[in-house]
Structure 1
């Protein structure tokens, strides 16, 4: 049972229109905004992330934006720790909380557990990595199957990172993946004391694609290329999450001569549309029960009613 005021979550795919609606709702409901966008964490990554402008940030208090240097890595454990502190402080001030963003990896922290209690000893990780390098992925999958006689469920055995992570956890815990999944699901999430109300904004694909194209044109007009040049000088390549993110990886490829300048807008658009498809799949399969609202007709006054 929830012991604290409700948390309001506004999500939806890239370019659907979350920012302006979040501002309007927060202004009329005495709320503060907590970002759940994995790229808004980084200082200087402004244009390519469509980060809220200074004027927008001034309208409503925002949190968990510009908290990392470009070369600094963010992870779910740090996000949860900082989000818990921010949410508690907002509630203590007697204000409402609005979480907004479309990054499923971080968004899931508000709906359930995010990490189990399995600690992987460094020597075990080193052993498995050494064997992976010498024997290849197929040998690791064979070992993993031997530890899971009832099967691997939906694990993607073509994904080395997921196979190695699963093998580490099975070896370290002495449990099967099914047992680990059951134990994980039984844990309380970091925000279990709150009722979470979630709204997902939607748009027709043709309309969303047009908005994506408009956003890319605005980014390039706002000198995205110069922003990326400056970030590279600050160590952006040291942060794979940032350097591989859409808008930045294509611009880096262009600056390095791997992509013609004329192809930059279309390449960003192609990858953004692919991201939107992945986001929709995540929302459909991973997001707990929520309310779907067409962004074109969304009313801030009744958004969470």
Structure 2
């Protein structure tokens, strides 16, 4: 079985460093699912990995596009899965990293437009699982959708519950509903993240914006002003500076707005990740011992 370790968390929390450390340990490569870091002209404002960081571990989907190119989430899903399949020929484990929630979802689940879980169905299936075991769920799925049963990890009860629930709700085979065939996701996903107090996180975000300004964010944004109408540039760190160039805001106010909007984005990310029950967290400022414990936990999770 191949393994994808997905490193998640809000902006500015230190995902890049953790991903590189994990890639070093597993002697593997990294796929970025940070949709803003795809664009080569936006290095500073998107906090793209530095040349030194890129030299530590091979990254894919960093600075691979120009802001003038149109690139959809569907295209990314296809490209990322293709790249993963290539990498899995060389490695048993690959690292995925990025805070673009839907882009991570596109890789690990696919962008199928499926109904939300039905509480009544879930309850019924849960009691089947408890009374008759996972074998009964396997049997039900095999009858309802033999194609999906042939490719699903049928020891993963959550996958079985989800598929049967959707089939019951839609009267259609799950294998027909998912946009990318499940066999292109023939890998196990382990999600890890870094967490910090709100205060620590916001402090890191504020400092990071100051560092971006010192590194030349103003000049980078100025060079992209002619593209300000493009979707890629309608993003935190650039939109605010364009207002400064237009004379609407002064520079100090524009920088404060970048900080405020970055904190707001982090808050949205936190809300999204809080809904997930499958993320194993490290604390910000983790020690080498904490990292070793994480590796131990990952190894255990992979063995399951």
* TM-score (normalizing by structure 1): 0.72
Q: Is the 8 A contact 1:112 1:191 kept in 2?
A: no
Q: What secondary structure is seen at the aligned counterpart in 1 of 2:205?
A: helix
Within 5 Å, which residues of 2 pair with 1:8-47? 8-47=5-44
Q: Is the 8 A contact 1:109 1:191 kept in 2?
A: no
Q: Is the 8 A contact 2:236 2:261 kept in 1?
A: yes
Structure 1 unaligned spans of 5+: 118-177
Q: Is the 8 A contact 1:203 1:295 kept in 2?
A: yes
How many residues in Structure 1 have an aligned counterpart in Structure 2?
238
CA positional deviation for 1:87: 0.9
Q: What secondary structure is seen at the aligned counterpart in 2 of 1:303?
A: helix
Runs of 4 or more consecutive aligned structure 1 residues displaced over 6 Å after TM superposition: 180-185
Task: Kindly indicate whether structure 1 or structure 2 has the higher relative contact order, using CA contacts under 8 Å at least 6 residues apart.
Answer: 1
Structure holding more helix per residue = 2
Establish whether residue 246 from structure 1 lines up as the match of residue 236 from structure 2.
yes
Work out the CA distance in 1 between the residues paired with 2:171 and 2:255.
44
Q: Counterpart of 2:86? A: 89
Q: Counterpart of 2:205? A: 212
1:260–1:199: structure 2 CA closer, same or farther, 3 Å change rule? Answer: same
Q: Is the 8 A contact 2:32 2:59 kept in 1?
A: yes
Q: Is the 8 A contact 1:15 1:215 kept in 2?
A: yes
Aligned residue among 268, 274, 277 for 2:267: 277
Q: Counterpart of 1:297? A: 286
Q: Counterpart of 1:127? A: none
Aligned residue among 61, 64, 73 for 2:61: 64
1:92–1:192: structure 2 CA closer, same or farther, 3 Å change rule? Answer: closer
Within 5 Å, which residues of 2 pair with 1:1-305? 4-94=1-91, 96-116=93-113, 179=170, 187=178, 192-233=185-226, 235-237=227-229, 239-240=230-231, 242-285=232-275, 287=276, 289-297=278-286, 299-304=290-295, 305=297
Q: Summarize deviations over 1:264-289 as a string: whole Å, max 9, x none.
A: 2211111111111110111122x452
Q: Is the 8 A contact 1:109 1:190 kept in 2?
A: no
Q: Summarize deviations over 1:135-163 as a string: whole Å, max 9, x none.
A: xxxxxxxxxxxxxxxxxxxxxxxxxxxxx
1:259–1:189: structure 2 CA closer, same or farther, 3 Å change rule? Answer: farther
Work out the CA distance in 2 between the residues paired with 1:217 and 1:181.
53
Q: What secondary structure is seen at the aligned counterpart in 1 of 2:94?
A: strand
1:288–1:192: structure 2 CA closer, same or farther, 3 Å change rule? Answer: farther
**Cα RMSD (Å):** 2.5
Q: Is the 8 A contact 2:228 2:239 kept in 1?
A: no
Structure 2 unaligned spans of 5+: 115-168, 298-304
* TM-score (normalizing by structure 2): 0.72
Work out the CA distance in 1 between the residues paired with 2:99 and 2:173.
27
1:277–1:116: structure 2 CA closer, same or farther, 3 Å change rule? Answer: closer
